[in-house]
C-alpha cells in the first residue's frame, strides 16, 4: 500500500507534529479521562454518558477481538447501521487493530454492500440488526476475505453470526500483547478510513 507524503509548515497549527487517530484518542483519554465522550439514550429513553477513559477501553476491547477474529493489516471492517456507541467502537477498533473502517449506508442494497465489502477486502462486517444482516447473508458466499459478522443490536438469527456481547467477551479475554504490537506499526500517513460516495458508491 502507498504512503501519502506528509507536508508541514514552519509555524501555526500546521507546524504541529502529526498524530495518529489512536494516538489522538489516547492523548485525550489521558488528559480528560472523566469527561463525556459519547452520549446516547438507553432502551428506556434515559440519557447515558461514556467518558473518554471508558471510550478508549471499549475501543481497545473491540480491537483485540477483531485481531482474534482474523482482521489483517490493510483490510477493512465494514459497518452498517445507525448512530450508536457500538458503531464508533467498531470504527475505531478497526483502526486500532491495524485495519481500516468502512461505513456503509443503511439504505444500501446487497449489491452496494458487496461492492463496499469486496473493494475493501473486508475481514469483518458489523451490522446493526437483522434487517442489515440479511443483506450481508445474501452475499456472504461471494466474499472470500470475510471472516466474521457481528450484530450489535438484538439477537442474531443466524448461528454463524456473533453478538456484540460475545465480541466484547472475546476481547476482554485477550491480553494487550497483539494489540500493542499492531498499534506500534500504525503509520500516520496510511489510510484509516475508506468513505464511499453517496448514491454511486464510487461505481461512477
Residues 184 and 168: their CA atoms lie apart, in Å, by: 23
Query: What is the per-residue pLDDT across 149-162, written as a single tens digit (0 to 9) for each?
Result: 999 999 998 989 99
**Does residue 204 carry a pLDDT above 60?**
no
For residue 15, the model assigns a pLDDT of 81
pLDDT bracket for residue 76 (50, 70, 90): very high
Residues 86 and 58: their CA atoms lie apart, in Å, by: 9
Query: What is the per-residue pLDDT across 166-185, written as a single tens digit (0 to 9) for each?
Result: 999 999 999 999 999 999 99
Q: What is the mean pLDDT of residues 94-111?
A: 97
Q: Are 179 and 64 in contact (CB under 8 A)?
A: yes
Class of the CATH-defined domain 18-195: alpha beta
pLDDT bracket for residue 197 (50, 70, 90): confident
For residue 16, the model assigns a pLDDT of 83
For residue 161, the model assigns a pLDDT of 98
Q: What is the mean pLDDT of residues 51-63?
A: 99
Task: Tell me the β-bridge partners of 48.
Answer: 40
Helices vs strands, H then E, count in the chain: 7, 8
Query: What is the per-residue pLDDT across 22-54, written as a single tens digit (0 to 9) for each?
Result: 999 999 999 999 999 999 998 899 999 999 999
pLDDT bracket for residue 14 (50, 70, 90): confident
Report the share of the chain in percent with pLDDT over 70: 94
Report the mean per-residue pLDDT for the chain: 94
Work out the widest C-alpha separation in the chain, in whole angstroms: 56
Task: Give DSSP secondary structure letters for 70-117.
Answer: TPPTT-EEEEESSS-HHHHHHHHHHHHTTSEEEEE-TT--HHHHHHHH
Choose between 17 and 151: higher pLDDT: 151
Amino acid at each position: 500500500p502507498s504512503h501519502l507524503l506528509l507536508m508541514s509548515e514552519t509555524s501555526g497549527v500546521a507546524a504541529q507534529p502529526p498524530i495518529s487517530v489512536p494516538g489522538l484518542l489516547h492523548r485525550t483519554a489521558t488528559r480528560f479521562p472523566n469527561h463525556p465522550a459519547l452520549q446516547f439514550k438507553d432502551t428506556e429513553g434515559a440519557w447515558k454518558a461514556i467518558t473518554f477513559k471508558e471510550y478508549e477501553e471499549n475501543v481497545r476491547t473491540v480491537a483485540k477481538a477483531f485481531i482474534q477474529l482474523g482482521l489483517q493489516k490493510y483490510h477493512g471492517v465494514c459497518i452498517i447501521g445507525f448512530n450508536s456507541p457500538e458503531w464508533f467502537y467498531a470504527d475505531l477498533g478497526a483502526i486500532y487493530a491495524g485495519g481500516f473502517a468502512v461505513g456503509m449506508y443503511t439504505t444500501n442494497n446487497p449489491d452496494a454492500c458487496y461492492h463496499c465489502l469486496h473493494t475493501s477486502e473486508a475481514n469483518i462486517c458489523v451490522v446493526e440488526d437483522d434487517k442489515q444482516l440479511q443483506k450481508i447473508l445474501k452475499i456472504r458466499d461471494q466474499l472470500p476475505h470475510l471472516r466474521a459478522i457481528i450484530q450489535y443490536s438484538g439477537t442474531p438469527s443466524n448461528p454463524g453470526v456473533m453478538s456484540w456481547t460475545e465480541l466484547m467477551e472475546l476481547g476482554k479475554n485477550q491480553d494487550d500483547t497483539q494489540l500493542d504490537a499492531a498499534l506500534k506499526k500504525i503509520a500516520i500517513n496510511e489510510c484509516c478510513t475508506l468513505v464511499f460516495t453517496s448514491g454511486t458508491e464510487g461505481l461512477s
